[in-house]
Every structure is written in C-alpha cells, then in structure tokens.
Structure 1
C-alpha cells in the first residue's frame, strides 16, 4: 500500500470493533471506580474467572504472566484483592504444594450484578444469528484476538 488507509465495509467493521473495545474498557473502568479497584484488579478477576471456567488452576506466577506484571507487582495485586475479599489463596487440587488463586463467590456476584445486563444483551443478540453466522463471528473474533496476541 502507498500509505493510505484501506476503506470499505471491512474497515467499517474494524472501526466498530475498536468502538466496542473502547466502550467495554470504559464500562470496566466504571466498575473498578465504583468498587475502589484498580483496572488491573478487574483484569485479574477476569483472568481468574476465565481460568476457573476452563477448570485450570491459576498460580500467582501464571496470573502475573497473563497480566504482564513482575513478581512484586503480582504479589501486591493478589494481596490487595485478598484484603478486599475478592480472592483467596488455596492449595492446588492436583498438587497440594502449589498455592493457587481463586475468585470469591462475593466477587463473582459483584461482577455478575454489574456486567450481567450487558452479557445478557450480547447473548440475546447472538441468539438472533444462526449457527453458521455465529461460527463466522467466533472465527473473526478469534482471529483478531490472535492477531493482537502476535503483536505482543
């Protein structure tokens, strides 16, 4: 290309994705502010809930790597979330020597109360698409996620 930005329906979708990303970030920031949390705290809770949903144990080391934090920063983060009652440190189920971080039921309920309406509307929208269309949406979003991850 000669330095020009491509135009067309594809770019409209890219710009919409950027707008969605900005709005989700602002929504997350409002949650963090209302609950006296740092935005990294919210990202940590999301990472922990994603790990739990995948039935994967999350150690502090894995959490720090997922968030791009060093060891000291991860310790401070987990300590802060633990003091607030959002997480707990427990022994691993597979390896009792390992300490894993789990999200408290209270933190899950807090997140569900705030993010639940947006999630329900998104699910409702997805239900209006057939399986082929949902597969296309899934493929597109997975591809964008992977493209961004490659840049890191």
Structure 2
C-alpha cells in the first residue's frame, strides 16, 4: 500500500470517526422515527441558530442539497412531528424562517449529550496551542470536503 505514514494513519482514524458518528446519528434517527436527512436538517438549523442566522426553507434545502419539493416535504414532516416550526423572520417579517423546537433540542441532548460530554472531556486534556491545531485541522478537512462537494455539483 502506498504512503502508510502518520498522515495516512490520521486519515484512516478520521474516516473511522466519521463512520462511527454516522452510525450514532443513524441510531438516533431510527429510535425517533426520523430519516437521516431529518437529523442533518436539525443540525443545520441548530448551527444556524448558534451563529445567529435565520434559516429559510430555501437556505436549508441548499445546505442539504435538496430541491424545493424535497425541502418542503422535509420541513412539513419535521413540523408535523413537532421537531421544527415556521416563524416570521426577525429582520424581515415577510420572510418565513424554520427553527428547531425546544423539544427536539432536548431529545437530541438526551441522546448526544453523553458523547458530547466525553468529547469535551477529551479536549480539556489539550492546551490552547494543541486545541488551535485540532481546530485548524478539522476546519481544513471540512473546507476540503465542502470544496469537493461544490466541484461535484458543478460537474453533474
């Protein structure tokens, strides 16, 4: 096999982490009668809220790679299940934004909370310089993956 140095070991560990996190997310979806896309939508909505950004259905669909009909079906399904609500935008009352319902946040916290707590505990063992390196690496991988997705969409 080519190049089995420490860099490839980290790449393989990252792949294993990605698989495990995907399986963990799939268990959450299955236990709660949700689709994998539902879970990704809730994460996107919570990330937007944490960043102080309003998320319209159109923005959500774009973030998930869904067309308009698929996005409407997704938001309708999540709304019927009490996971999200449609509300008027703060800055523009004509705009309809999608928000995660507090009950969905609590549901997610009850399932993902222990994993988050263990992860935070691991990170507390690193100094600020090491945390900066971890943060930089993860952002770089995220950006590389996002660029690959954009390139794929342009080519198809």
TM-score clears 0.5: yes
Cα offsets for 1:87-143 (capped at 9, x unmatched): 000000000000000000000000000000000000000000000000000000000
CA-based RMSD of the aligned residues comes to 0.6
The 3-state SS of whatever aligns with 1:55 is: coil
Distance 1:147 1:56 in 2: 23
Q: Could you say which residue in structure 2 is the equivalent of 1:136? A: 133
Helix, strand or coil at the partner of 1:20: helix
The match for 2:33 among 33, 36, 44 is 36
| TM-score (structure 2 length as normaliser) | 0.94
Tell whether 2:44 aligns with 1:10: no
C-alpha displacement at 1:6, in angstroms? 1.9
Counterparts of 1:5 and 1:113, CA distance in 2: 43
Query: Is 1:22–2:19 an aligned residue pair?
Result: yes
Matched, 1:66 2:53: no
- Secondary structure of the residue aligned to 1:5 is coil
CA distance in structure 2 between the aligned counterparts of 1:54 and 1:139, rounded to whole angstroms:
19
How far apart are the structure 2 equivalents of 1:59 and 1:6? 45
Alignment partner, residue 45 of structure 1: 42
Deviation at 1:5, TM superposition (A): 3.0
User: What are the ranges of 5 or more consecutive residues in structure 1 without an aligned counterpart?
Assistant: none
Find runs of 4+ consecutive structure 1 residues off by over 4 angstroms. Answer: none
Query: Aligned residues, how many?
Result: 149
The normalised TM-score by structure 1 is 0.97
Give distance in 2, aligned partners of 1:29 and 1:37.
9
User: What are the Cα deviations for residues 48-92 of structure 1, in whole angstroms up to 9, with x where unaligned?
Assistant: 000000010000000000000000000000000000000000000
Instruction: Supply the distance in 1 between the matched residues of 2:37 and 2:13 (Cα, whole angstroms).
Output: 25
